[in-house]
Structure 1
């Protein structure tokens, strides 16, 4: 059974207390750091400090990154599969 570690984070202006596994802790902290960097970026870009607006932009940005990553991963997997099929066809062609 994995033990949960307390993980206190500041996201924008909100303190968040979580309990995470040891394996997740580093990832959670890196994600919180990314969120905070995006908060600062959007505060500067929009010249606004409205937490609702800023966090909405951060959420949209991260969701878009997820969709782009998924699309690129699917495309890459399709390309690899196509190339593998071509190589297998060549192997079949040259088998004795």
Structure 2
């Protein structure tokens, strides 16, 4: 988890989405399935929401949404972030 955090560039929203996309490409190259990536991303989202202080307004909004979301809504947020990352 620490290695993934070290690779995330959260200096701006665009850089954040781009670095998430790179992490997903890396996972795909390692043969990790889309379902596994989604499960890992949801676990990662929970970790970030509980342990990392948001450094940009968009991350603060994501953290607040994550904290009030049901598990199903968190899965939706995860799917949306994956879509954003793929399109960056």
Instruction: Calculate the TM-score normalised by the size of structure 2.
Output: 0.30
Please state which structure has a larger fraction of its residues in strand: 1
Please state which structure has a larger fraction of its residues in helix: 2
Q: Over alpha carbons, which structure has the higher Rg?
A: 1
